[in-house]
Amino acid sequence: MFRVIFFAGILMLPLAQALVPEAVLDGAGVFVLGTVIGWLGLLLRWWSFATLGTYFTTVVKTSSDQVVVERGPYRILRHPSYTGLLAAFVGCGLMLGNWVGTAACFLLILVGLIYRLLREEHAMIDSLGDAYLDFAKDRARLVPFVW
């Protein structure tokens, strides 16, 4: 389910350019802003992967030696790699210069990530119990101080 929604979000970028070319975001400033947001998102994502180390997986699963990681970007967010992924795609959308594609991509990927992160959180609670619940109560999921 996540992968279907994720790829649909990616497809919105070129599709919107073809179907709604008048939704243009023009100017060098928009491109530069997109570049900065995109790279910051990728850096956050890579930092998250490096912080998790061997606990990073591409599928939702826990291991018998699983611990709650509370260092690096996990000091602030529960799912910083997903925040980074969203930022990377917003940046890409801005660089491509179509606000409809950017918004559609963001919304679809956000829906897919929420679906996935809720599954992840259930797996972590099942595996780690109170340790994960204590970690989660002090951190937002995707946006600091918001959600």
Domains of the chain: 2-137 (1.20.120.1630)
Q: Where are the alpha helices (DSSP H) in the chain?
A: 2-19, 28-52, 80-96, 99-128, 130-137
* Identity of the residue numbered 70: E
Quick one: which of 62, 64, 63, 59 has its CA closest to 116? 59
The torsion angle over the Cα atoms of residues 65, 70, 72 and 75, rounded to 10 degrees, is: 160
| Alpha-carbon gap, residue 73 to 24, rounded angstroms | 34
Give the predicted TM-score (pTM) of the model: 0.88
Quick one: which of 67, 61, 51 has its CA closest to 128? 67
SS3 87: helix
CA atoms within 13 A on the CB side of 135: 21
Q: What contacts 129, CB < 8 A, 6 or more positions away?
A: none
Tens-digit pLDDT profile for residues 87-136: 999 999 999 999 999 999 999 999 999 998 998 899 889 888 898 899 89
CA atoms within 13 A on the CB side of 129: 1
Tens-digit pLDDT profile for residues 115-125: 989 988 998 89
- Considering the chain, what percentage of its residues have pLDDT values greater than 90? 61
pLDDT of res. 95: 94
Bridge partners for 83 per DSSP:
none
Q: Per-residue pLDDT averaged across 11-40, rounded?
A: 92
